[in-house]
């Protein structure tokens, strides 16, 4: 197994909600460099804003994300995102915008993606997926 992984937003949410399914993913994340895409940060920010969270829950989420390394956007990542989206469309399996950013992050770093929604990424060529669903 790789020494690093990209962690999908859905897995982060399992940990935040203290969902028992998070235990399935803990071995893939602990003692590794755990990376989250800038898009995961954006998705979680939307989650916070949509639900109107107060300072306590915001602080809990901030603490949960503290150990994760954030992968920012770049022109190279934008080109890779476009390739992922185009490839998925050609394969007849369009991919959601946010999922494509997360997949592109894993591809750019050449590390596996830990997700609870593996089928979202089925059409992404060359992506190593770790999924326990």
Span 47-83, pLDDT tens digits: 999 999 999 999 999 999 999 999 999 999 999 999 9
Q: What pLDDT sits at residue 1?
A: 59
User: Among 2-6, 75-79, 80-84, 125-129, which is the least confidently predicted range?
Assistant: 2-6
Q: List CB contacts of 42: < 8 A, sequence separation 6 or more.
A: 98
Q: Side-chain half-sphere of 125: how many Cα atoms within 13 Å? A: 11
| Sole residue written with tokens 């326990």 | 132
Token pair recorded at residue 101? 């950013």
**CATH number for the domain formed by residue range(s) 4-130:** 3.40.50.1010
pLDDT of residue 97 exceeding 90 = yes
d(CA 121, CA 10): 13
pLDDT value for 133: 84
């Amino acid at each position: 197994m790789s020494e690093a992984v990209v962690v999908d937003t859905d897995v982060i949410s399992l940990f935040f909600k203290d969902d028992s399914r998070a235990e399935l993913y803990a071995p893939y994340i602990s003692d590794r460099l755990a990376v989250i895409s800038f898009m995961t940060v954006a998705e979680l920010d939307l989650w916070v804003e949509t639900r109107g969270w107060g300072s306590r829950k915001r602080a809990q989420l901030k603490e949960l994300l503290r150990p994760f390394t954030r992968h920012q956007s770049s022109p190279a990542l934008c080109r890779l995102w476009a390739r992922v989206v185009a490839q998925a469309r050609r394969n007849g399996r369009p991919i959601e915008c946010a999922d494509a950013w997360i997949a592109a992050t894993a591809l750019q770093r050449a590390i596996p993606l830990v997700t609870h929604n593996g089928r979202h990424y089925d059409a992404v060529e060359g992506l190593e997926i770790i999924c326990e669903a």
